[in-house]
A and B are shown apart, each in its own frame.
Chain A
Amino acid sequence: MLCAELIVLKWFKKGASEKPETLEEMVKDLKQSIDFVAYENKDSDQPYRLIYFASLIDPEQLHRDLLPYIKECRSKSLEDLKGILPIENIELSSKLPLIQERLLEGHVAIQLSRGQKVLLVNISLRKSRDLSAPEIEFSVMGPKEGLVEDLHTNMNLLRRRIPHPRLRMKEITVGTISKTKVVVAFIEGVASEQNINTVMQRLEDLDFDIISDSSFIGQMLEDNSLSVFPQMIDTERTDRITGHMNFGAFAILTEGSSNALIGPINFGQLLVSFEDYYLGWNIASFFRIVRMIAILASIIATPLYVAVLTYHYELFPSKLLATLISSRSDIPFSPVIEVFFLEVTIDLLREAGARMPTKVGQTLGIVGGIVIGTAAVEASLTSNILLILVALSALASFTTPVYRMTNTIRFLRYPLILFAQLLGLIGVALLGLFILTHMIRLTSFGNPYLAPLYPPRIKDWYDSFFRLPYVMQKNRFQFFRGNQSKRFKDKKKRKHSLDFDEQ
């Protein structure tokens, strides 16, 4: 037993530490996987050997663009073959690490004679799902084009929307095992150099094994990883990405992830739905304000219920108090238990709904929401006023356009309820002060999180709590500190305003 363990240990050690010295050794090493192919054809006029991962390359391209040309090639040299092959970016190399890396990227290595030199040809197979409408960030108006998991498709989507020479895309590989390609896209001049340097530096410093999704990178790039507030926006909407790039932000695209990360952001942008830009400015502003009030109400509604009913019931006028008493008279619990019971129920429903297939999830939501809610009131576990409050605040929390922010809002409630139970309204205010301080201190890539509110930058307010018409959005946000502050040219103003019945 012990002996077997030792052997296993030794074998692993050997595998990990011993690097292949020659090409043959490497081939022998890789042969342990069944999808690795080293095919040698000695019978043709031109003996050759192909080395590749069958699972990574496109067999059609191999048969159509590679094999016929190799057979036709009369010369014995790889250089001549390089000239003949109708594929771009062919490399000639004898460096083992490079060869291995390229093989794992889906290249095929061609050998004409025994030796260390190979020709590396890229015929990798790209499979990606079709484009589909964004499912998380749904909108009624506006383009319905979401990112997919394939990096190239995503880059294509962005480039098509911003066909500008200054749209730069910088690539960097992250992850010691997954070797995930990460692309930072930004518009040069519009985005500040300092922000780009910061993000590139942080990406380079990233040390992690497998990057499963862009959110991994998002969490590791954030200024303060202890914070519950998102410091970058996860989005799958291409219009949102390009819009933010035009403000001066950068977007991080990750291979294998259908979400891009936008940064730097400020808190206000988390409350902005991109649909706001498709509606008229007055309507959009109105709904933006409604949304902000909804979010605030959603956070403090139940904590206030706990605070007031536990300590300050004299706050209510006698008529309202009578209603409350009659609805709570049969309930054997203190308000805080009542509230926790309902809040946890709602969060359970939400969690269950998120894990279920869409159709089941909907049914579950209705069953859970209506049946459990009504039953809880009838069984005198909670008051119906609280049921209304909790349902409304749950609804309000889903008005946030950024999914991660929804989670933050749902989370913030619990400590507030706890403090409301401990110190009543004063507790809510003190925890409110803590959250406020935290947000003042928070930064997104070094940019203040609460800007343009604090530090106050009144010039940026044209698109914050409200959105002014596009004519008044001539300047880019100062927040991003880019070089090009003008978005478009000023039209000449009319000299005098027309009177009635004039044209």
Chain B
Amino acid sequence: MSDLEQGKRNDLLISPFLVMFIIHSNQVGVGVLGFQRYIAAYTGNDAWIVVIVTGLIFHIFIWMMYRILSDGTFDIIDLHNKWFGKWIGTVFNLALMMYLLLGTVVILRTFIEVIQAWMFPELATWVPVALYLLLTYYVLAGGFRTVAGICFFGVIIPIWLVFTATAPIKFSTFSNLLPIMDHSLKDFALGTRQMTLSYVGIDILLLAYPFLKNPKSSRIWAHMGVILTTLVYTMVMIVSLAFYSAGQLQQSIWSTLIAWKVVELPFVERFEYIGITFWCFVVFPNICLTMWGASRVGKKVLHIKQKYFVLVLIAFVFTVCVMVVNRDQVDYLNTLTSIIGTYVYYFYIPFIFLYSMIWRRVKRRI
């Protein structure tokens, strides 16, 4: 059924531990540059707890996804068709494609918003969008192994920035974090919903699963990926809470970038420029993965060759990105993704999970 199964082209598969990089790189995007104030708006100095709790919830999602995918080497496209029949399955698959494309647009457009806000106020949106999308085509043409490679380097190359994020500690007051746990449960719930957007991205596993060698043994690495993300987010959040006062934090849109200004090197004054430059490497795997996922749906559902369908997708993403012109629209896109992401994770994945459990039990009985 899956197109990989014929002959099991081993050369196309990737080793299970790369899942860690795929998961992590698809989770971390532009959000980490300014997610703090949205969470702190609800939970204030307890925001870091929300980060950890959301991270733990996502471990449950990983577990669910591996249970959903547990038999055979099918991806979610096959499973949709198998469980819901061709028509409803196709509707689900197309919805999935649109969701992935929305992910591409949001991350790409938000990152370009950052570039425009900090480095090139005059830059026309279409220039970096076009360059990024051309690069994406080049990556996708190399197959999933190349996509995974981009994920790998997208984590490895900028990893040193983690250490620079600790620079503001010198000027921080950690008593800002006290008292711990003085927010209501409702605040925590709202914060968690808000935090979900930053953790969204593990859904790519539903499509990448058939491309893994020994997919079952990769689960530990998927969890490691989420742990890595949680560590990065928690660290950034704690540093931001200690560095900014509550009022300041609410006023800074890109808190992480502003905090980077504190970094001092003998030959670099405005370190956030270096940060944004390296963020090109962080953002790129997101674009590649989501575009890859969307083109897989096109290949399997619409039966269009990926090499042509990716062009269609690129044209679509390009048009949408160029149509978004100001900060408000970017914000709207982010909010929209946040809402859809919340539904995908808190309703769709548990639903599919339960459905697969019941379906298997019923089938076994018959």
Contact = CB atoms under 8 A, between A and B. Distances in A.
Contacts of B278: 429
Contacts, number: 92
A366 interface: no
Interface string A237-256: 00000000000000000000
A177 B259 CA distance: 69
A317 B268 contact: yes
22 contacts: A312-B119, A312-B270, A315-B273, A316-B267, A317-B269, A320-B267, A423-B127, A424-B120, A425-B119, A425-B277, A426-B128, A426-B280, A430-B135, A433-B281, A437-B150, A440-B145, A440-B146, A440-B153, A441-B142, A450-B149, A454-B152, A455-B15
A437 B135 contact: yes
Contacts of A320: 267
Interface in B119-135: 119-120, 123, 127-128, 131-132, 135
Contacts of A312: 119, 270, 273
A436 interface: yes
Interface string B127-165: 110011001001101100110011011000000000000
B138 A437 contact: yes
Interface of A: 311-312, 314-318, 320, 423-426, 428-430, 432-434, 436-438, 440-441, 450, 454-456
B135 A433 contact: yes
Nearest to B127: A423
A437 B268 CA distance: 28
B179 interface: no
B149 A440 contact: yes
Select the residue from A314, A320, A429 with max chain B CB neighbours within 10 A.
A429
Contacts of A315: 268-270, 273-274
The 9 A-B pairs with the shortest beta carbon distances in the complex, nearest first, are: A440-B149, A429-B280, A441-B142, A425-B277, A317-B269, A429-B277, A454-B149, A440-B146, A437-B139
Contacts of A311: 119-120
Nearest to A427: B131
Nearest to B139: A437
B119 A424 contact: yes
- Report, as a range, how many residues of chain B touch the other chain: 35 or more
B85 interface: no
Contacts of B139: 437
Nearest to B111: A426
Contacts of A423: 120, 123, 127-128, 131
Contact of B280 (A433, A438, A450, A456): A433
Nearest to A428: B277
Main secondary structure of the interface of B (DSSP, over half): helix
Contacts of B142: 437, 440-441
A456 B276 CA distance: 27
A323 to B, nearest CB: 11
Select the residue from A312, A316, A438, A440 with max chain B CB neighbours within 10 A.
A440
Contacts of B66: none
B284 interface: yes
A429 B153 CA distance: 13
A435 to B, nearest CB: 11
Interface in B13-53: 14-15, 17-18
Main secondary structure of the interface of A (DSSP, over half): helix
Contact of A436 (B123, B141, B153, B274): B153
B7 interface: no
A312 B270 CA distance: 9
A312 B120 CA distance: 9
A329 to B, nearest CB: 20
B135 A434 contact: yes
Select the residue from B127, B146, B273 with max chain A CB neighbours within 10 A.
B273
A317 B119 contact: no
A430 B18 CA distance: 23
B250 to A, nearest CB: 27
B258 interface: no
A51 B222 CA distance: 76
Contact of A316 (B17, B123, B131, B268): B268
A455 B14 contact: yes
A454 B269 contact: no
B115 interface: yes
Select the residue from A314, A424, A437, A440 with max chain B CB neighbours within 10 A.
A437
Contacts of A433: 135, 150, 280-281, 284
Contacts of B132: 430
A317 B268 CA distance: 6
B247 interface: no
Contacts of A429: 277-278, 280-281
B280 A454 contact: no
Contacts of B141: 441
Contacts of B268: 315-317
A424 B141 CA distance: 27
Contact of B267 (A317, A428, A430, A434): A317
B30 to A, nearest CB: 14
A311 B119 CA distance: 8
Contacts of A434: 135, 138
Interface in B250-270: 266-270
Contacts of A316: 267-269
B280 A430 contact: yes
A454 B153 contact: yes
A424 B123 CA distance: 11
B221 to A, nearest CB: 12
B102 to A, nearest CB: 23
A250 to B, nearest CB: 21
A317 B269 CA distance: 5
Contacts of B152: 454, 456
Contacts of B127: 423
Contacts of B280: 426, 429-430, 432-433
A314 B269 contact: yes
Nearest to A320: B267
Select the residue from B14, B128, B277 with max chain A CB neighbours within 10 A.
B277
Nearest to A312: B273
B280 to A, nearest CB: 4
A428 B119 CA distance: 14
Interface string B265-295: 0111110011011101100100000000000
A423 B131 CA distance: 11
B213 to A, nearest CB: 11
Given A315-B268, A426-B119, 14 more contacts: A312-B273, A317-B269, A423-B128, A426-B277, A429-B278, A430-B132, A436-B153, A437-B135, A437-B146, A440-B142, A440-B149, A441-B146, A454-B153, A455-B18
Contacts of B145: 440, 455
Contacts of B269: 314-318
B303 to A, nearest CB: 26
